C-alpha cells in the first residue's frame, strides 16, 4: 500500500477529469431517521446533474454522502470525492467516482473542496456538516471567496441554527451583510436559481 505522503503527492499532480462546474455538498455520513432527508438529498443531486453541474463532496459511500454521489452519477453527473486517509476505515471511500482524492488530514480535505467548488450547499447533517458550512461562511466574511453559500432547510432542520445566526446579528456579533451571504433555501429550485447565474471559467461555458 502507498504511504500517505505518496498518495497525497499523487493526488496533487493528477489533472482534473471533470468538465463541469462543481457544487460542494456538505452532508451527513448518516442518513437521518426521516425518509424526507434522503429523498430531498437524492432529488437535489439529480437536479444538479440535470442543470449541468458536478459534485465535490467528502468521498464516502455511506449515509447521505453516498446517496448524493450515486444519484449524481446515475444522472450523468461528475463527482469528485476528497477523503482523509485516516477516515478510510470507517467512512468507506466510494470506489466509482470521477475523481477520488486521498489526502492527509481534514484541513487538506476542506481546502481542496473549497478550491474545486463554485458554490456550497449544506444538507442536513451533524457536527462535521455544521463546521464545514460555518467555516466556509467565515472564509466568505474574510473575503477569501465570493462563492454562493446555502443552507438547504429540509423539514425545518436548520431553523435553530438560523435563529442563532439572527441572535448573533441582534446582539452585535455578526454584521447583517455577512449574515445575508448565507442563503436560506427551503426548496431545491432556490438553489438552482442561486447557482445558475454564476460567472464560470471559460472552459465551463456552453
Cα 62 to Cα 64: distance, rounded to the nearest angstrom: 7
For the chain, how many structural domains are there in total?
Answer: 1
Reference 204, options 45, 195, 109; nearest CA is: 195
CATH (domain of 165): 3.40.50.450
Is this structure's pTM higher than 0.75? yes
Please tell me the distance from the alpha carbon of residue 79 to that of residue 180, in angstroms, as a whole number. Answer: 29
Which is more confident, 12 or 46?
46
Q: Which set of grid coordinates corresponds to residue 201?
A: 471559467
Q: What is the pLDDT of residues 163-200, one digit of tens each?
A: 999 999 999 999 999 999 999 999 999 999 999 866 54
Give the single-character DSSP code of 27.
-
Alpha carbon distance 1, 3 (integer Å)? 7
Query: In 10 A of CB 119, how many CB atoms?
Result: 20
Task: Give me the domain span that covers residue 187.
Answer: 4-9+19-198
Weakest mean pLDDT among 93-97, 122-126, 128-132: 93-97
* 109 in a structural domain: yes
Residue 83 belongs to some domain of the structure: yes
User: What region, left, alpha or beta, does residue 143 occupy, with left being phi > 0 and alpha being psi -120 to 50 degrees?
Assistant: left
Residue 14 covered by a domain: no
d(CA 54, CA 20): 6
Amino acid at each position: 500500500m502507498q504511504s500517505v505522503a505518496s498518495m497525497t503527492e499523487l493526488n496533487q499532480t493528477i489533472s482534473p477529469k471533470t468538465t463541469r462546474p462543481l457544487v460542494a455538498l456538505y452532508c451527513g455520513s448518516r442518513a437521518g431517521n426521516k425518509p424526507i432527508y434522503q429523498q430531498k438529498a437524492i432529488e437535489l443531486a439529480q437536479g444538479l446533474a440535470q442543470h449541468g453541474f458536478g459534485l465535490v463532496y467528502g468521498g464516502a459511500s455511506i449515509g447521505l454522502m453516498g446517496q448524493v454521489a450515486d444519484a449524481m452519477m446515475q444522472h450523468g453527473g461528475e463527482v469528485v470525492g476528497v477523503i482523509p486517509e485516516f477516515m478510510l476505515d470507517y467512512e468507506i471511500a466510494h470506489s466509482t467516482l470521477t475523481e477520488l482524492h486521498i489526502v492527509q488530514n481534514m484541513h487538506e480535505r476542506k481546502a481542496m473542496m473549497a478550491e474545486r467548488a463554485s458554490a456550497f450547499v449544506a444538507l442536513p447533517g451533524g457536527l462535521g456538516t455544521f463546521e464545514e458550512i460555518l467555516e466556509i461562511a467565515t472564509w466568505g466574511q474574510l473575503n477569501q471567496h465570493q462563492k454562493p453559500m446555502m443552507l438547504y432547510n429540509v423539514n425545518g432542520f436548520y431553523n435553530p441554527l438560523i435563529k442563532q445566526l439572527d441572535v448573533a446579528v441582534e446582539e452585535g456579533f455578526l454584521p447583517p451583510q455577512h449574515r445575508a451571504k448565507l442563503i436560506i433555501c427551503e426548496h431545491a429550485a432556490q438553489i438552482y436559481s442561486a447557482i445558475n447565474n454564476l460567472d464560470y471559467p471559460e472552459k465551463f461555458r456552453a
